[in-house]
Amino acid sequence: MRYLLGLLACSLFTLSTLNAQTPEISSSTDIYHSIEKLNFLGTALYIAAHPDDENTRLIAYLANNVKARTGYLSLTRGDGGQNLIGPELRELLGVLRTQELLAARRVDGGEQFFSRANDFGYSKQPDETLEIWDKEAILGDVVRTIRKFKPDVIINRFDHRTPGTTHGHHTSSAMLSFEAFDLANDANAYPEQLSATNTWQPKRLFFNTSWWFYGSQEKFKAADKTNLLHMDVGTYYPILGKSNNEIASLASSQHLCQGFGRLSSRGSEDEYIELLKGDLTQDKSDLFDGIDTTWSRIDGGKAIGDILYDVQENFNFKNPSVHIPKLLEAYELLQNVSDEHWKHLKTVELTTIISAISGLHLEAFTKISSTNPGQNVDVQIQALNRSDINIELKSVFINNQNTNIELSTLNNNKLFEKKINLNIPASTDFTSPYWLMEKGTLGTYTVENKALIGKPETPRAFNATFNLNINGISIPFTKPLVYKYAKPDKGEIYQPFEVVPEATASFTDKVMIFADASPKRIPVTIKAHKDSISGTVELKYGTEWQVDKKSQPFSINKKGDEQTVYFTLIPPATENENSISPIIKLNGKEITKELVTIAYDHVPTQTVLLPSESKVVRLDIQKAGENIGYIMGAGDAVPTSLEQIGYNVQLIDPTTITKESLKKYDAVVLGIRAYNVVDELKFKQRFILDYAKNGGTVIVQYNTASRWGAQFENIAPYDLEISRDRVTNENSDVKIIAKDNSLVHFPNEINESDFNGWVQERGLYFPNKWSKEFTPILEMHDEGEEATKGSLLIAPYGKGNYIYTGLSFFRELPVGVPGAYKLFSNMLSVGKDKVETKAKIKG
Ligand SMILES: [Zn+2]
């Protein structure tokens, strides 16, 4: 409840992209826009699968033109995507993309919801998706969101009738929405939810079609659209000084880690919607046609509407505070409304408007970013009335702690200020994303506290409630406790105030590969989140492994500082996969977490506590060759992985490649999408191919089909055509079809079991045509599809070899998949069996 208050406070319209903690600046036009929204009692929910799937034009249109309460339910948090702006991947990327969605909603005026579904990677078919997601659970989450949000209309981004034409997650989102539309009103469906909410029947379900469902803009133009609702979403809002599409562009440009920063579009723009369920409407441009969206829809609402429509009609832009008495009258009437749903929502909106109109500034902030449970923290409380309205500050509570402020009158523009000392109870939970607290499955996050399901983020741990008398009427205002500071090069900054453990520990590498029986020195870095701490750190490890010391002492003086201690880890004699964790022992407590901070300018800083753990893998890898040259493409961690198994890897700057420069390498590897992103390769390709011709091994990892051909006719020494073929099921069967090829024998014997334990997918963008010089090594396919043989191709070229592979080594090596290491080592060793045999004969 308190949390909602904070969340909704942000929906008072502002185009600023300041983060959620920054106080609102509300001009008269912002306030007027909020009153228009206050007077519309209708709700729309948009449903899709990923952050960035949502049509921000339609969301902005519904929120600002229709003035509906508008939500976006993204089933996943986008954990499976790429990251263009930093190192976060998987669940950490999900945390960042969650915040980018919230930033987008702050711009377009929508609200944000999620399910527990994990974006586990690409799937072609919805049945595959729904098997990996726990379908019952995720369907239940959609039902729960509908029951709590109570939309009149639901709009799907994707078509539930066309499985296989887009990402399986996309079609699944539409299918689940289609099913949930009826289930939400069925008391026998998910009855356990009904203790916290009630059943709800939305009136209409739509599908938001687009030209890309028709194949081309021309085909869409020509298509029969008589059954579709149509609206022009390019509308201009003089009150806001922006057009709807400008707002939409700004909103989708928040998806920076996906590279969605884009130019604004302007002018008339058509949007088409197909009715899937519910009654047909008369007005084909109005989703809410025939639905009562006035105050009269609630019992006791008419009298409130009479007051508020009048305020809207006669709004005084020069001195909006003249409306306070009427708004207070409406507030009192609203408190007697029996419909708890609308009473709560409209109370939040109305108090936010009252606060903005009286120029109220209410704030509780700390000057430190974080603390630990059981500590005391100085909190600055400020209250300021910037109107002639008669306002008294009665009391301020932070959670349940009374700050013992005495009754004070807030005179116009006289700042009230008081410093208090807040106790952080020892039982306070650490700050962290709630969906990462427990270990989930591949497809679904585990959330113990059901009340949190659907929420975009963990509610703030500390909130200040300011109890005010405004013209004698008692109204509480709740604000999250924030951390406020100034940076000389940035100005005033607001960030969330966090509760963290006294210390956390982490390993440098999330996966440690032992190519043989040699021990490795393992650094453990301890970070202090409190001054003057000292304790010990131990390693927890599997029985087959050994560590040189039982524990290591540490002692750190200053909060924020780090200390690194070292253990020597001795691997078992044979192949083994295990995990190790550091355990901090401090004042009788054990801490097993690591802390990751995600900090960017466009979103609030995020603190994520994860189990501190690394995977350790003892392999038995044979290698031939030593020096590898690596030409980085779009970015991957393959070089680090190869170094872990003892290769000497040098990153090659493509501009420095000459006829001679590659000679020193045993193999030259091109990183993923190198030919797509490194233009310089156009000029250096002949040297790379010559290197192979003269006896070297060139290994090219996947490139996408686009830009192929025109730019790089000679990417391979022989004809090779890249297709969109991919095998997305990481467990699909793999057959070795070139059983005699040394690539599957030297120096490691590869068999089909080496394809066990792969993650996310087999590979992508496999060639589907190649000249006779190439030998396909493997055959694989997704269920119900034809076999593809293009995942790994090798051709002799001159005295050397050329290998093209779309296998996802860039995913498998960093997570320590043994079979992938063996196969990669074999690729690097191609041709060296003959050399060794010769050497042996000579010797
Ligand atoms: Zn998507």
Report the separation in Å between the CA atom of 60 and the middle of ligand 1, taken as the mean of its atom positions: 19
Report the separation in Å between the CA atom of 1 and the middle of ligand 1, taken as the mean of its atom positions: 31
Q: For 238-279, write each residue's pLDDT tens digit.
A: 999 999 999 999 999 999 998 888 888 899 999 999 999 998
Report the separation in Å between the CA atom of 291 and the middle of ligand 1, taken as the mean of its atom positions: 31
Instruction: Quote the pLDDT of residue 258.
Output: 85
135: part of which helix (H) or strand (E)? Answer: helix 135-149
Report the separation in Å between the CA atom of 13 and the middle of ligand 1, taken as the mean of its atom positions: 27
Report the separation in Å between the CA atom of 164 and the middle of ligand 1, taken as the mean of its atom positions: 14
Report the separation in Å between the CA atom of 90 and the middle of ligand 1, taken as the mean of its atom positions: 15
Q: For 643-692, write each residue's pLDDT tens digit.
A: 999 999 999 999 999 989 999 999 999 999 999 889 899 899 999 999 99
pTM for the model stands at: 0.88
Closest CA to 409 of 433, 448, 431, 383: 383
Report the separation in Å between the CA atom of 170 and the middle of ligand 1, taken as the mean of its atom positions: 6
Report the separation in Å between the CA atom of 237 and the middle of ligand 1, taken as the mean of its atom positions: 30
Closest CA to 547 of 515, 580, 525: 580
**Using only C-alpha atoms, what is the Rg of the chain?**
30
Report the separation in Å between the CA atom of 636 and the middle of ligand 1, taken as the mean of its atom positions: 22
Tally of CA atoms within 13 A in the half-sphere of 712 that contains its CB: 29
DSSP notation for 564-607: EEEEEEE--SS-EEEEEEEEEEETTEEE-EEEEEEEETTEEEEE
Instruction: Quote the pLDDT of residue 23.
Output: 62
129: part of which helix (H) or strand (E)? Answer: helix 126-132
Residue 405 and residue 395 in contact, taking contact as beta carbons nearer than 8 Å:
yes
Residue 343 and residue 330 in contact, taking contact as beta carbons nearer than 8 Å:
no
Report the separation in Å between the CA atom of 81 and the middle of ligand 1, taken as the mean of its atom positions: 9
Closest CA to 323 of 355, 370, 275, 367: 355
Rounded to whole angstroms, how far apart are CA atoms 181 and 156? Answer: 11
Report the separation in Å between the CA atom of 71 and the middle of ligand 1, taken as the mean of its atom positions: 17
Closest CA to 350 of 299, 307, 291: 307
Report the separation in Å between the CA atom of 337 and the middle of ligand 1, taken as the mean of its atom positions: 41
Closest CA to 209 of 270, 154, 158: 158
Report the separation in Å between the CA atom of 96 and the middle of ligand 1, taken as the mean of its atom positions: 16
Report the separation in Å between the CA atom of 396 and the middle of ligand 1, taken as the mean of its atom positions: 44
Letter for the amino acid at 734?
A: V
Residues of the chain with confidence (pLDDT) below 50:
1-20, 708-710, 837-843
Report the separation in Å between the CA atom of 264 and the middle of ligand 1, taken as the mean of its atom positions: 21
In three-state secondary structure terms, 308 is helix
DSSP at 407? P
Report the separation in Å between the CA atom of 211 and the middle of ligand 1, taken as the mean of its atom positions: 16
Q: For 781-836, write each residue's pLDDT tens digit.
A: 998 899 999 999 999 999 999 999 999 999 999 999 999 999 999 999 999 886 55
Rounded to whole angstroms, how far apart are CA atoms 371 and 531? Answer: 11
Report the separation in Å between the CA atom of 169 and the middle of ligand 1, taken as the mean of its atom positions: 7
Q: For 497-532, write each residue's pLDDT tens digit.
A: 999 999 999 999 889 999 889 999 999 999 999 999
Report the separation in Å between the CA atom of 221 and the middle of ligand 1, taken as the mean of its atom positions: 24
Rounded to whole angstroms, how far apart are CA atoms 630 and 653? Answer: 9
Mean pLDDT computed over every residue of the chain: 92
Residue 153 and residue 44 in contact, taking contact as beta carbons nearer than 8 Å:
yes
Closest CA to 115 of 450, 463, 469, 569: 450
Report the separation in Å between the CA atom of 459 and the middle of ligand 1, taken as the mean of its atom positions: 27
Report the separation in Å between the CA atom of 49 and the middle of ligand 1, taken as the mean of its atom positions: 6
Report the separation in Å between the CA atom of 473 and the middle of ligand 1, taken as the mean of its atom positions: 48
Report the separation in Å between the CA atom of 380 and the middle of ligand 1, taken as the mean of its atom positions: 43
Largest CA distance in the chain: 103
Contacts of 721 (CB under 8 A, 6+ apart): 767, 768, 769, 770
DSSP at 509? -
Dihedral sign, Cα of residue 632, residue 636, residue 640, residue 644: negative
Report the separation in Å between the CA atom of 119 and the middle of ligand 1, taken as the mean of its atom positions: 10
Residue 685 region by backbone torsions, left for phi larger than 0, else alpha for psi between -120 and 50, else beta: alpha
Report the separation in Å between the CA atom of 763 and the middle of ligand 1, taken as the mean of its atom positions: 19
Report the separation in Å between the CA atom of 26 and the middle of ligand 1, taken as the mean of its atom positions: 34
Report the separation in Å between the CA atom of 52 and the middle of ligand 1, taken as the mean of its atom positions: 7
Instruction: Quote the pLDDT of residue 665.
Output: 97
Q: Which two tokens stand for residue 208?
A: 């938001």
Q: Which two tokens stand for residue 765?
A: 């963008």
Report the separation in Å between the CA atom of 171 and the middle of ligand 1, taken as the mean of its atom positions: 10
Report the separation in Å between the CA atom of 120 and the middle of ligand 1, taken as the mean of its atom positions: 12
Q: For 618-654, write each residue's pLDDT tens digit.
A: 999 999 999 999 999 988 999 999 999 999 999 999 9
Q: Which two tokens stand for residue 35?
A: 């009153």
Report the separation in Å between the CA atom of 114 and the middle of ligand 1, taken as the mean of its atom positions: 14
Report the separation in Å between the CA atom of 50 and the middle of ligand 1, taken as the mean of its atom positions: 5
